[in-house]
Amino acid sequence: MNAKLIIGLAVSAALASISLSAQAGNTAGGLDAKTAEIVKRDFRDKGIAKATRVNQDELQAMCSKYVDNLPAKLKTRLEAEQSDAIKWPADGKYMGDWKAGEKLAQSGRGMTWSDKAEDPAGGNCYNCHQLSSKEIAFGTIGPSLLNFGKLRGNSEANQRYTYSRIYNAKAMNACANMPRFGHMGILTEAQIKDLVALLLDPESPVNK
């Protein structure tokens, strides 16, 4: 199982426990301290998987605090900050090789304690999305991407939109479940371009 998923499940379990305790009348300060104690006790560095992965930035903390229902002004500010932080391709091109993108989308490797830092991470896209009409099993956490390019076209504007969505989906939806692949350094610029091509190239299985 992917290390990020394991950490996410463990933190979710801790938050669920906190929620139940809150209903019993515990103070927020006490609950925060208890959470920090649990995280410090149970998460340790191992290989490239560092315990610091459970540390939340402001956006994550606010999505946790408001249970993904951010106040409008806060949501607007956080999304604008995420959008401003997107690093666009220096060459102005947004599409790479869809065949490389297909391999990347079907790879769930990377970022676990047993992986090496120099080994490229996979996109893990299949775990959340339908990518091809030939797939018999696929994740449903995210929307189906079948015919993504056929329905939207592959104009430069849509290439840029798709690139930004993969780079940092939270620039469009602050509390989106989708990882911030570019923002967090999970995928490289070239890898993101390959995924854009997978979604938009007419020859890609996504659009067949």
Read off the pTM.
0.81
Domain total for the chain? 2
Between residues 120 and 71, which one has the greater pLDDT? Answer: 71
Which residue range forms the structural domain that includes residue 201?
98-207
Between residues 31 and 73, which one has the greater pLDDT? Answer: 73
* Least confident stretch, 40-44, 53-57, 149-153, 201-205: 40-44
Between residues 97 and 111, which one has the greater pLDDT? Answer: 97
Q: Give the pLDDT score at 33.
A: 80
Domain annotation covers residue 66: no
Same domain, 121 and 196: yes
Domain annotation covers residue 187: yes
Indicate the pLDDT class of residue 91, thresholds 50, 70 and 90.
very high
DSSP 120-181: PPP--GGGT----TT-S----SS---TTHHHHH---HHHHHHHHHHHH-GGGTSTT-SS--T
**CATH number for the domain including 158?**
1.10.760.10
Domain annotation covers residue 78: no
Q: Residue for token digits 């459970």?
A: 54
**Residue type (1 letter), 198:** L
Same domain, 110 and 195: yes
Domain annotation covers residue 93: no
Q: Give the pLDDT score at 32.
A: 74
Domain annotation covers residue 102: yes
- Smallest CA-to-CA distance from 187 within 72, 97, 109 is with 109
Domain annotation covers residue 182: yes
